[in-house]
A and B are shown apart, each in its own frame.
Chain A
Amino acid sequence: MTFPARYTGNELNAAVVDHDSARASILLAFPDVYEVGMSYIGFKILYSIVNSREGFIAERAFAPWPDMEEAMRTHGIPLYGLESLSEARRFDLIGFTLQYELSYSNVVNMLDLAGVPRLAAERRDGDPVIVAGGPCVANPEPVADFFDLFALGDGEELIVDIMETTARAKEDGVDRDQLVRRLAAIPGMYCPALGNAAVRRVVTDLDAAEYPEKFIVPFLDTVHDRVVLEVMRGCCRGCRFCQAGMIYRPVRERSLPVLCEQAERLVASTGYEEMGLLSLSTADYTGIQELARKLVQEYGPQGVAVSLPSLRVDSFSIALAREVEGARARRTGLTFAPEAGTQRMRDIINKGVTEEDLMSAAADAFRSGWEQIKLYFMIGLPYETDEDVIGIAELARKVLDLGRRIAGERGKAGRVRVNATVSSFVPKPHTPFQWHAQDSIEEILRKQQLLKEPTRVRGLSVSFHDVMQSHLEAAFARGDRSLGAVISKAVDLGCRFDGWVEHFRPDLWKQAFESQGLSPESFANRAYSFDEALPWDKVNMGVSKAFLRREAELAAQGITTEDCREGRCTGCGACFGDVRVRLQGEFGLAASPSDGEGAGTGAGTGGAV
């Protein structure tokens, strides 16, 4: 058995639960391994909100690695909650976090292991209600067969409503059907069986939103094993390919005093040696310098390192990284995400980075002693030409040459390394590019080939994302309800952990699609027209379709749209009522102590400088 500590629970700060006295219970299920699931802040937030309330309990379950699954099946052990080892069927609700389309096979497999009928339509009284949340609910249709309900948007307030409604329904003694109907009536809940239109929930004021006072401290290394401070939610830069940048709007910052208090409490309750500042673009946080300085001053001497996982491509960010992460960062290298190789392409995707920005940031980095730079790019973007693709290689070489020149002055030219990671564009729902087709597999492979020759240079390396994985990701991102049968079939054929290259079985997926008379191409490589209904029209993630369409048209003309945070609203539709851009400087005016929540972010870490 690999890493048995994944399955034993009992970690520091894990909740002690008592099912007998609980009014309502939820099993928070993450369809990937423990180490991945335990790294998501949204998961921690929900767990803490539920367990901090009298009468509600939340336990955790993760996808068992195939060796554990086999053991569970051989010994007839059902999926269980890590806190009390209670079997999944005992819970009133099972809530899945959908972070990634390629975890859908794990969802179905976990339902099997739980002994819960896969199809919502086949569940009866006594079966738990199966709910999903997370960014993938932006298009619930491909997995609509498997879920009774989808929870849209920020989770802090929504989870409390869900628990309370469930508790009341139980107290009233209503049947399962009625419970589902009552849950569907909560704002932000979408029920595929009822087909109700639903609008995502938004936390207006992040300071008032609940944040965990303690994190569970795992015994094994998780992906992000540290104190996490969510400095802000949302990003208004408006990159047209970025789903997170659309569905978490508007920008809401947490104030410095609240963040410092959270830092203090979390260091004291976890003893972690690292603290990460999380958001979609941390250098955009208006108090970043002051916050970073404070934290480094306070916790550096206690052996707690501060890290900045998602920075921008500019000199400010380099200076900040140098100040905050110092020698540690220089060891691990810097990451920049210009995303595209030519200015024309960057304008189309609205990535506000120029070649000068990149070069001056890179120059600063090399001068400060960094020798390794990682560059993130995408190919297959809308309106892309071969020149744009080759532009990636040219840009990477320019960065390499610059590094050689600067490092050469101290005799270290040979140590400079530039790694370009090139992923394939996946059109996502609720973005301006949602109508666009993904490039065909052959086309992407051809473009990858175009890049290989001009990057065959010492000191430069290129790596590509798996084409088939991106292809399937696009199919599930943009598909409709007919995909449920395909996913079900794929699980029967043995598909699991599709996001893990070592487990991904494109041959079985092909078979699964064929068995239903469908193909991934018909979803991934199909363009939708502006006038036709989209499978995800029922769910409203805040940004209006009209805005997305205007952005799509501007993209076609290569016209950029500015960031709205400095006051010029560009009319995306995310703000209404109390929901508006909130920057930390203005605090003191706004705080209305509503119940907070924030299952949102979690997508942010691992971003780019």
Chain B
Amino acid sequence: MARVRAQARAQGVQSEMRYRLRLAKLESAVFVSHLGTMRAFERAVRRARLPVAYTEGYHPHPKYSFATALGVGMTSEAEYVDIELIDRADSPVGSRAVLEAVGRELPPGLSVLAVAQVMEGSRTGLASGIRWASYRVEISLGMALAAAELLGQASFEIEIAGKGGKKTVDVRPMVRCAAPQGRALEFTIACGGRAHLRPGDFLSALGSIAGEKVRTDGFGVHRTGLFFEVESRLVAPEAHECTDLVIAAGL
């Protein structure tokens, strides 16, 4: 199998093509863990019978890359995954076919919002490239005022519980914006390996300013976007070094 593949590659008939999928996780799947979501997705791809590229070796597994984990309890319209397909150079599978095939097979609670082809030569890895995440949550007026107050400060320190116990962290540089929209607050905070702020910690920071007790376990929080940072602008992963973008109908 591996040899056949290598030959095909050498002859230029087949190549491995990276597709980027944007998924939504709905209310009915909020209890599904990140691991559970990944597995459900992999199984959907197998049911869809897409020509997935497998790692070589005795027990091949599909080549996937998932972006940042979503906490249990949150819904999302910005879950990203890159998959590699073995594509014929002359007749590629194409984003639309991927969108339809995976969309048909995803279990209840997950759906595909968009698919794009990552351009050959793109060096931005999905998981490693994410810098920011945006969320939406319903809040009180007091919390909205607290958000404005936090943004007005040059620094704002809070205690965050992590693996090695509690740490005092300046969260202000990790908050890019926070804008009330009706009864909801839409906010963009640091996400990824370099700097990461959990939405729950951000909300409890606001709670401490507003003097309100807030839910920090993720329920009610909706992720609206994940972003690369390109020349200090936010860019959605499907808009960066991608072509053939197809968006699901009804959006």
Partner pick for A219 among B1, B36, B48, CB 8 A cutoff: B36
Contact status A267-B46, CB under 8 Å: yes
B78 within 8 A of A: no
Contact status B40-A303, CB under 8 Å: no
Nearest-neighbour CB distance to chain A for B40, whole angstroms, equals: 6
Bound-complex Cα distance A3 to B31 (A): 8
List chain A residues, Cβ under 8 A from B59. Answer: 300, 303, 305, 326-328
A87 within 8 A of B: no
Residues A303 and B43 in contact in the complex (CB < 8 Å), given A10-B28, A219-B36: no
Contact status B47-A220, CB under 8 Å: no
Contact status A271-B44, CB under 8 Å: yes
A202 within 8 A of B: no
Contact status A219-B29, CB under 8 Å: yes
Residues of A1-18 whose CB lies within 8 A of B: 3-5, 8, 10-12
Nearest-neighbour CB distance to chain B for A307, whole angstroms, equals: 11
Bound-complex Cα distance A426 to B58 (A): 41
Contact status B31-A270, CB under 8 Å: no
Query: Closest residue to A6 on the B side, CB-wise?
Result: B31
B33 within 8 A of A: yes
A162 within 8 A of B: no
Contact status B47-A219, CB under 8 Å: no
List chain A residues, Cβ under 8 A from B48. Answer: 271
A272 within 8 A of B: yes
A445 within 8 A of B: no
Query: Closest residue to B2 on the A side, CB-wise?
Result: A301
Residues of A409-437 whose CB lies within 8 A of B: none
Bound-complex Cα distance A305 to B109 (A): 27
Nearest-neighbour CB distance to chain A for B165, whole angstroms, equals: 24
Contact status A270-B43, CB under 8 Å: yes
A52 within 8 A of B: no
Residues A301 and B60 in contact in the complex (CB < 8 Å), given A5-B31, A271-B47: yes
Contact status B60-A303, CB under 8 Å: yes
A273 within 8 A of B: yes
Residues A303 and B29 in contact in the complex (CB < 8 Å), given A217-B43, A219-B36: no
Residues of B19-42 whose CB lies within 8 A of A: 28-29, 31-33, 35-37, 40, 42
B83 within 8 A of A: no
Bound-complex Cα distance A10 to B36 (A): 14
Instruction: Give 1 or 0 for each of A193-235: 1 = CB within 8 Å of chain B CB.
Output: 0000000000000000000000001011100000000000000
B108 within 8 A of A: yes
Residues A217 and B60 in contact in the complex (CB < 8 Å), given A4-B31, A271-B46, A303-B52: no
A269 within 8 A of B: yes
B61 within 8 A of A: yes
Instruction: Give 1 or 0 for each of B86-127: 1 = CB within 8 Å of chain A CB.
Output: 000000000000000000010111000000000000000000
Query: Closest residue to A328 on the B side, CB-wise?
Result: B59
How many A-B pairs fall under 8 Å by CB? 78
Query: Closest residue to B36 on the A side, CB-wise?
Result: A219
Nearest-neighbour CB distance to chain B for A174, whole angstroms, equals: 39
Residues A328 and B40 in contact in the complex (CB < 8 Å), given A5-B32, A8-B28, A217-B107: no
Partner pick for B60 among A5, A8, A10, A300, CB 8 A cutoff: A300
Instruction: Give 1 or 0 for each of A300-341: 1 = CB within 8 Å of chain B CB.
Output: 111111000000000000000000001110000000000000
A185 within 8 A of B: no
Bound-complex Cα distance A11 to B39 (A): 13
Chain A facing B: main interface SS: mixed
List chain B residues, Cβ under 8 A from A302. Answer: 46, 54
Contact status B31-A303, CB under 8 Å: no
Bound-complex Cα distance A418 to B133 (A): 49
Query: Closest residue to B105 on the A side, CB-wise?
Result: A271
A72 within 8 A of B: no
Partner pick for B31 among A8, A217, A268, A301, CB 8 A cutoff: A8
Instruction: Give 1 or 0 for each of A268-297: 1 = CB within 8 Å of chain B CB.
Output: 111111000000000000000000000000
B146 within 8 A of A: no
Contact status B54-A301, CB under 8 Å: yes
Contact status A271-B43, CB under 8 Å: yes
Nearest-neighbour CB distance to chain B for A219, whole angstroms, equals: 4
B62 within 8 A of A: yes
B45 within 8 A of A: yes
Bound-complex Cα distance A273 to B36 (A): 14
Residues of B44-69 whose CB lies within 8 A of A: 44-49, 52, 54, 57-62
Query: Closest residue to B28 on the A side, CB-wise?
Result: A10
Instruction: Give 1 or 0 for each of B203-245: 1 = CB within 8 Å of chain A CB.
Output: 0000000000000000000000000000000000000000000
Contact status A220-B36, CB under 8 Å: yes
Contact status A269-B47, CB under 8 Å: yes
Contact status B42-A5, CB under 8 Å: no
List chain B residues, Cβ under 8 A from A304. Answer: 46
Most interface-central of A3, A10, A270, A327 (chain B CB within 10 A) = A10
Residues A272 and B43 in contact in the complex (CB < 8 Å), given A8-B28, A326-B59: yes
Residues A303 and B54 in contact in the complex (CB < 8 Å), given A11-B107, A219-B40: yes
Partner pick for B108 among A5, A12, A328, CB 8 A cutoff: A12
Supply 5 further A-B pairs (C-beta < 8 A) apart from A217-B43, A272-B46: A219-B40, A220-B33, A271-B105, A301-B54, A303-B52
Mind listing 26 A-B residue pairs with CB under 8 Å? A3-B31, A4-B72, A10-B28, A10-B29, A10-B109, A11-B108, A12-B40, A12-B107, A217-B43, A217-B107, A219-B29, A219-B31, A219-B32, A219-B37, A268-B49, A271-B42, A271-B43, A271-B46, A271-B47, A272-B46, A273-B42, A273-B43, A300-B60, A301-B54, A302-B54, A328-B58
**Chain B residues within 8 Å of A, Cβ to Cβ:** 1, 28-29, 31-33, 35-37, 40, 42-49, 52, 54, 57-62, 72, 105, 107-109
In order of increasing CB-CB distance, the 7 nearest A-B pairs are A271-B43, A12-B107, A271-B46, A271-B47, A4-B31, A219-B32, A219-B36
